Structure 1
Amino acid sequence: MPGFSRLSTTGDAPTGRTGEPAAPHPVDERLPPLRMAATGLQHVAAMYAGVVAPPLIVGAAIGLSAKDLTFLTGACLFTAGLATFLQTLGVWKIGCRLPFVNGVTFGGVAPMLAVVQSTKDKHDALPVIFGAVIVAGLLGYIAAPYFSRMVRFFPPVVTGTVITLIGVSLLPVAFEWMQGPDAGAKDYGSLGNLALAGVTLVIILVLRRFTGGFVKQIAVLLGMVAGTLVAIPFGATDFGPVVHADVVGFPTPFHFGAPQFGVAPIVSMCIVMLVCLTESTADMLALGEIVERPADERTIAAGLRADTLGSALSPLFNGFMCSAFAQNIGLVAMTRIRSRFVVAVGGGFLVLMGLCPMAASLIAVVPRPVLGGAGVVLFGSVAASGVQTLTKANLSKDNNVMIVAVSLAVGLIPIAAPDFYHAFPDRARIVLDSGISTGCVMAVLLNLLFHHTGKRARVETVAAAMEPAAEIPATEIPAPRTQVSAPGGAT
């Protein structure tokens, strides 16, 4: 009908009434090279600290030399870039093809440290960890299409709650960064560190308020650069990593030895994988709402395949388990740059950093308080997106209010009372200490209880089906269209 686009039955690009190709969806938009590079680098800056923290913590527990610790960190950056390629660009039915960043999951730190403590020679711990990650990744890959079927249990009342929890759960990380790099340092939590974080936050807010266009979109990156420059006269920046870093380095496969397979480590990492699948599902649903391309079952299955395959391949190059990075969702929400190719460019930067330790060390120069000031904006944007999604749920119903109230309360336990689950076994705490996972599970279960079980639920379903449809003017009825396969196999 006139005025409406129609998808071609041959799978060509949609065309308008003039016959010209319609503009691509913002997710598939290709920006000019300079904008692509700057916004891609902004994504790297937002997630860099999260990628390097696990290898630094595990490497320090093992007692790796400075050279091996740099190698392990570079390997994790390299594999994070490869996993991000899988998610954004996709191969076959692998990758959600959304602006979705993948990197080393912090959820695996606790079980990896447990492996280190249980190994007689701590330098043998990495091969054991790598073997467990490979098995967990392969099993997760097999389970991905079955796990994705849970998507029908994620209506707005569930997704909004989970998105809000993602943002709120990340905010303590920003507050920790604002205080300084090391909890044992003399200046930890000092007025100087807090002032530096505050200056960075103010710069970002000023740029967002008084600038426009491209400058406004990269306000976070500019704020971090400005904050770093402000910190230099006060000696808050450390250029040592750049001076001592190698120019070129490749993560040689099995640098720390061939993988070893132990039952207990494999079970522990499989539990972590289940947590990662849950969080990634929630993150994809959140991102789909933000970019206005809702993630359906096939999209989630493809995204989970990328998560798990990236995790299985990561140990080949001495990397750890990979999962979604929620902080980058906040960046997408704030900048409104929804192109997956921007994030793919960010993945390219991660690969280059893995191949060039000197380049990787440049971002390490950014003081932790500066990252904290930027994190307040990024993580707060995620929480705000969750609240926005909750407005789509009918909160006038007591049942929905109960779902939100109890799920938020359960999800906030690890934040409000970090030792609440201290009496539980360590393996159980892997799940319980993740507020995102426990809140997500609680929201799904309560949604099942209130909306999918019992006589009342069946009556509400029948009533909804019998409710007369609203009259639609004839001019607003779109022409029928033939389904064609979307990227990744979705229809």
Structure 2
Amino acid sequence: MATRDFPLPVDERLPWGQLLAFGLQHVLAMAAVPITSVFLVSKALGLPADLTINLISATFLVCGLGSILQAFGPLGFGARLPFVMVPGGAPIVMFVTLAQQRDLATASGAVILTALFYFLILPVFARCMKFFPRIVIGTLLLLVSVNLVKVYGGIIVGKPGAADFAAPVNIFLALATVGFTIVFARAFKGMLGQLSVLLGLVAGTVVAAALGMMSFANVAQGPLVSLPTLLPFGMPNFDIFAAVPLLIFSVISMVEATGQTVAVAEIAGRDIVMREDVPKTIRGDALMSLLGGVLGTSMIITSGENIGIVRATGVRSRYVTATAGAILVLVALAAPLGRLGAAIPAPVVGGTAMVVFAIIGTMGIDMLRQVDLRDRGHMFTLAAGLVMGLLPILVPGLYSKFPPNAQVILGNGLAMGSITAVLMNLLFQMKPQPRTDAPSAGAPVDVAEARAQ
């Protein structure tokens, strides 16, 4: 049996210079998520400045350690794939809501309980991997792309009602960043071509500075070192009933992690066994969420952003994301670096993100292209999944009159789309549709379609 005399792309060890450059690109493409998540929590709960800085440090630290964990996968914690971990969007909203309704100690306790629940439910979930064929995962990736583009589109235009909402200069800056990224991707080859996302972000930042939209006044102010604090909100309050929304989300998160693991593994050129490798990703999510709960953050998980950045840059080595993790740890401890990242204007970050996240949709399309959509079951599985998934994404408040616990699932487009696609796929697998029309004489017959029906 022949053996490989060269490493897979995912296992390639690049020179240090390339590792640092590509790792920094990953960090800058993803850094907006932890920064905006902490600012959202801080502003919503009225946290003091010193606690906000502490939470930024904690969030970057856990994201960095989690990225390293996912890259190397010790003891089955981590998939050994190029993942950068970030705070989950939905858990942040649930964390803030719970803190407002109860208190921060209860919110932290809910995060810790949810992390432990991952380990409890994972053996059951691992037996359900067969329910996630390409038709389901492709549908999920399309929904992830639409959802992320909408989120970062909102970051670009700002908050409705604000004085600078949909300001033309912000939209220009975002579109200029997108344009720079595409130009660099077209003009450069080799390493520079792979750095097109980073170069586009830098070019957009330079334009922002020239327009007077950047301020470095706060970068040099404040402490040089920032160390996270254990239990910053005091001893956690473990209320199982208060944690129910996050517990439900944990199952949804496992579904998302399944699609992300399959998609990133496919890009990175690694053959995986879903029942063995997907749980490794989820264990890493669980462990980092547990650590995050102890340090006062919301849940820290793998994210669909990884699919876009890996496909957009063509950088598939897990050693790059391990380097990105090390940079995130450094940023967590060096407070001025965190403040420098926060100085990049939101439209620039949003423009970069739009390119990366739209590419996730192309991944979903490519995966669906490998499915016979002329088959009635596949066609209706995709259609129903998109309907149930896109409705809550594109029509905010659609389920606002439903009970709060129902809104947790119904209002999550990724959850509803995935669940619907799984159920529809099962329905058509269990009961094949009889043929209702006969081909006319001499008409060509698709053999695969005939067998499917």
Same fold (TM over 0.5): yes
Match of 1:259 in 2: 236
User: Does 1:377 pair with 2:355?
Assistant: yes
**AA paired with 1:193?**
N
In 1, the alpha carbon distance for the partners of 2:31 and 2:129 equals: 30
User: Does 1:291 pair with 2:268?
Assistant: yes
3-state SS of paired residue (1:243):
coil
**AA paired with 1:431?**
I
Match of 1:27 in 2: 10
Counterpart among 130, 150, 165 of residue 152 in structure 1: 130
- Measured after TM superposition, the shift of residue 454 of structure 1 is 3.1
Counterpart among 230, 243, 250 of residue 273 in structure 1: 250
Question: Any conservation in 1 of the 2:373–2:379 contact (CA below 8 Å)?
Answer: yes
Question: Any conservation in 2 of the 1:285–1:294 contact (CA below 8 Å)?
Answer: no
- Measured after TM superposition, the shift of residue 294 of structure 1 is 4.2
Counterpart among 392, 410, 415 of residue 437 in structure 1: 415
User: Does 1:47 pair with 2:30?
Assistant: yes
Question: Any conservation in 2 of the 1:165–1:408 contact (CA below 8 Å)?
Answer: yes
Match of 1:313 in 2: 291
Question: Any conservation in 2 of the 1:161–1:390 contact (CA below 8 Å)?
Answer: yes
Match of 1:424 in 2: 402
- Measured after TM superposition, the shift of residue 324 of structure 1 is 1.6
Counterpart among 317, 328, 334 of residue 350 in structure 1: 328
In 2, the alpha carbon distance for the partners of 1:36 and 1:160 equals: 30
Match of 1:69 in 2: 52
Question: Any conservation in 1 of the 2:35–2:342 contact (CA below 8 Å)?
Answer: no
Match of 1:323 in 2: 301
**AA paired with 2:12?**
E
Question: Any conservation in 2 of the 1:165–1:439 contact (CA below 8 Å)?
Answer: yes
3-state SS of paired residue (2:86):
strand
In 2, the alpha carbon distance for the partners of 1:131 and 1:117 equals: 14
Aligned in 2, Cα 1:305/1:97: closer, same or farther, shift over 3 Å?
same
3-state SS of paired residue (2:372):
coil
- Measured after TM superposition, the shift of residue 383 of structure 1 is 0.2
Question: Any conservation in 1 of the 2:71–2:80 contact (CA below 8 Å)?
Answer: yes
Match of 2:175 in 1: 198
Question: Any conservation in 1 of the 2:95–2:298 contact (CA below 8 Å)?
Answer: no
3-state SS of paired residue (1:323):
strand
User: Does 1:116 pair with 2:94?
Assistant: no
In 1, the alpha carbon distance for the partners of 2:404 and 2:27 equals: 32
Match of 1:176 in 2: 154
User: Does 1:233 pair with 2:210?
Assistant: yes
User: Does 1:79 pair with 2:56?
Assistant: no
In 1, the alpha carbon distance for the partners of 2:137 and 2:388 equals: 15
Q: Which ranges in structure 1 are unaligned for 5 or more consecutive residues?
A: 7-13, 15-21, 120-124, 458-462, 468-491
Match of 2:440 in 1: none
- Measured after TM superposition, the shift of residue 69 of structure 1 is 0.9
3-state SS of paired residue (1:143):
helix
Question: Any conservation in 1 of the 2:388–2:413 contact (CA below 8 Å)?
Answer: yes
Pick which of 140-149 and 213-222 moved more. 140-149
Match of 1:483 in 2: none
Match of 1:137 in 2: 115
**AA paired with 1:426?**
P
3-state SS of paired residue (2:214):
coil
**AA paired with 2:29?**
A
Match of 1:454 in 2: 431
Write the deviation string for residues 331-384 of structure 1: whole angstroms up to 9, x where unpaired: 101111111111111111111111112111221121111112212210111001
Question: Any conservation in 1 of the 2:8–2:269 contact (CA below 8 Å)?
Answer: no
- Measured after TM superposition, the shift of residue 455 of structure 1 is 6.4
In 2, the alpha carbon distance for the partners of 1:376 and 1:62 equals: 29
- Measured after TM superposition, the shift of residue 117 of structure 1 is 2.3
**AA paired with 2:413?**
G
- Measured after TM superposition, the shift of residue 139 of structure 1 is 1.4
**AA paired with 2:92?**
V
3-state SS of paired residue (1:264):
coil
Aligned in 2, Cα 1:258/1:149: closer, same or farther, shift over 3 Å?
same
Aligned in 2, Cα 1:126/1:294: closer, same or farther, shift over 3 Å?
farther
Counterpart among 365, 390, 393 of residue 343 in structure 2: 365
In 1, the alpha carbon distance for the partners of 2:38 and 2:206 equals: 27
Aligned in 2, Cα 1:112/1:319: closer, same or farther, shift over 3 Å?
closer
Length, aligned pairs only? 436
Match of 1:59 in 2: 42
- Measured after TM superposition, the shift of residue 25 of structure 1 is 0.6
3-state SS of paired residue (1:313):
helix
Match of 1:486 in 2: none
- Measured after TM superposition, the shift of residue 183 of structure 1 is 4.1
Match of 2:21 in 1: 38
Aligned in 2, Cα 1:148/1:239: closer, same or farther, shift over 3 Å?
farther
Write the deviation string for residues 168-224 of structure 1: whole angstroms up to 9, x where unpaired: 2111123223224x5444222111111111111111111011111111111111111
Question: Any conservation in 1 of the 2:111–2:289 contact (CA below 8 Å)?
Answer: yes
**AA paired with 1:383?**
G
In 2, the alpha carbon distance for the partners of 1:110 and 1:197 equals: 25
Question: Any conservation in 2 of the 1:95–1:303 contact (CA below 8 Å)?
Answer: yes
**AA paired with 2:267?**
I
Counterpart among 373, 381, 390 of residue 403 in structure 1: 381
Pick which of 406-415 and 378-387 moved more. 406-415
**AA paired with 1:437?**
A
Aligned in 2, Cα 1:241/1:434: closer, same or farther, shift over 3 Å?
farther
Aligned in 2, Cα 1:271/1:240: closer, same or farther, shift over 3 Å?
farther
**AA paired with 2:120?**
I
In 1, the alpha carbon distance for the partners of 2:319 and 2:18 equals: 11
**AA paired with 1:95?**
G
Match of 1:18 in 2: none
- Measured after TM superposition, the shift of residue 390 of structure 1 is 0.7
In 2, the alpha carbon distance for the partners of 1:156 and 1:241 equals: 48
**AA paired with 1:80?**
C
Aligned in 2, Cα 1:188/1:245: closer, same or farther, shift over 3 Å?
farther
In 1, the alpha carbon distance for the partners of 2:390 and 2:253 equals: 18
Match of 1:480 in 2: none
Counterpart among 164, 175, 187 of residue 142 in structure 2: 164
